[in-house]
Copies of this chain bind each other. A is one copy, B any other.
Amino acid sequence: MRTPALPDLDRLRPAGTKRSTKRDVIVNAFLRQEGHLSADDLVDLIRGEDQRISRATVYRTLQWMVEAGIARKVDFGEGRFRFEHSYRHPRHFHLICKTCNQSYEFLSSDIEALVEEVAQARGFTARQSVVQIYGTCEACRTGRAPAKGGATSEMLFARDALRIAIATERSGLDFYSRAARIAKDARGRAVFERLAEEEQEHLGTLETRYKQLLKEDPRLESQPTFLFFKGAANGLFAKGAEDLRREGIDDLEALKIGIRCERGSHRFFKRYGERFEDSEGKQIFLEFAEEERAHLELLIREYRGLVKRRQQRKAAAGAKRARTSASR
């Protein structure tokens, strides 16, 4: 099992601050812990290591960590703040159990999109949003043991990013294979075939990566969804592949549908990749966005070429007709 990447503290240190042993002790104790610590929890932890560190220093260090981007201050309405990791840990929302006071993390692109829409409709520039669901967690309700957390949100995010990418890749493969089958123009068919091949290959890479991730932490597979995103449940090309099933789709239309799909997909992955804090899931999204961009360009080039060739053929036919009628 992988050790989570630790931040390079020297690099992150805010300008004009210097190293200190005590601070290191506090930061390390914080990073070693998971979940959401209150200042007091942290003081208790520290007390086990160094009796001589004062409460004030813990508060000051907490503030320092927030500035340095190592920690985020969160408010669960308890009348005091808690702190969570923020280094390579995507922003997320919370489920908060009022019974055991545990909190669980999730992310929803769908909710984020709606929140953005509301903000826009109200002329509001959103900088940050908080979504908290208060209630009772499964463990508390059923009395069974808590479902063994274990995996970090960062890993779950990577897992879900990969799952979404794989679903998209699969639907893309389906789309391009079908398009190649129905294409009449030889060049167009070649493009679709090439893209299908690429999707196939990339799908392999993604699946290997997914298996690798699971090997690093086998608990990942059974853990519940972290990133909720309806749009990609069946892959972003699913709608396009569906459209191809209609009667009488010609090459130009197939290209158009492909362009629409790649554009939507590129936009989605880029946008979400950029949104998240530095993390493996973010990387996956951005790489994927890049891939989609390349495909998009290829399709557009091919589309333009096809339109041009059709025009030339038409012009040639016109010229021929003119010659024929002249010679008559």
Contacts and interface: CB of A to CB of B under 8 A. Distances in A.
Nearest to A137: B124
Contacts of A228: 114, 117-118, 121
A159 B77 CA distance: 32
A41 interface: no
A8 to B, nearest CB: 29
Given A111-B115, A114-B108, A224-B121, A133 B126 contact: yes
This chain: how many copies in the complex?
A: 2
A194 B129 CA distance: 48
Interface residues of A, number: 37
A134 interface: yes
A125 B135 CA distance: 5
A84 to B, nearest CB: 14
A138 interface: yes
A136 interface: yes
Interface in A108-154: 108, 110-111, 114-115, 117-119, 121-138, 141
Q: Across chains A and B, which 3 residue pairs bring their CB atoms closest together, nearest first?
A: A123-B138, A126-B135, A130-B132
15 contacts: A75-B75, A95-B124, A104-B122, A110-B114, A114-B114, A123-B138, A123-B141, A123-B224, A124-B136, A126-B134, A126-B135, A127-B134, A127-B136, A130-B131, A131-B132
